[in-house]
Every structure is written in C-alpha cells, then in structure tokens.
Amino acid sequence: MTGMEGRRITLDDAERTGVNRPAHNRIANVKGYSTTTGILHRLCECFECRLDRLAEYLPDKQGQL
C-alpha cells in the first residue's frame, strides 16, 4: 500500500494501524473496494492525518465503481 507522500507502507506501519495486511492490499489495489469507517478511522489515527489525505473521490466516467 502506498502511503502519504507516495511512500510504501511498511509491515511495521501496517501492524501499527491494527488493520490486517489483506485489507491494506485491497484498499490499495482494488478499484472501488469498500472499506469500513472503522478502518479509515484507524488509518487516520495511526498516520495522524485527515481522511482527505488517505482517500480521494474519482468519479468513474461510466458511472460505475
């Protein structure tokens, strides 16, 4: 998973978030993957950032995710 400033998330970072590695991989690599607000909260808390630093809305040109 790529973190803020384009750096890769290390295994230590992943463990600190309390989010399992498969979830990190799906968030980073699966277009349209739907995660929970709890996971987003843990990521923001761990990296001390706002949600808009982790996620961005990109509309699909075909109206689908």
Give the model confidence (pLDDT) of 38-61 as tens digits. 999 998 988 888 999 888 887 877
CA nearest neighbour of 48 among 19, 17, 12:
17
What was the pLDDT predicted at 20?
84
**CA-to-CA separations, 23 to 30, 41, 47, in angstroms, rounded:** 10, 14, 16
Query: At residue 65, does pLDDT exceed 60?
Result: no
Side chain identity at 51, as an amino acid letter? L
Q: pTM score, two decimals?
A: 0.65
Tokens of 20: 């399992």
Nearest Cα neighbor of 41 from 17, 59, 61 is 17
- pLDDT band of residue 2 (cuts 50, 70, 90) is very low
Local confidence band at 17 (pLDDT 50, 70, 90 cut-offs):
confident
User: Which tokens in the block code for residue 41?
Assistant: 């909260």
| Greater model confidence, 45 or 2 | 45
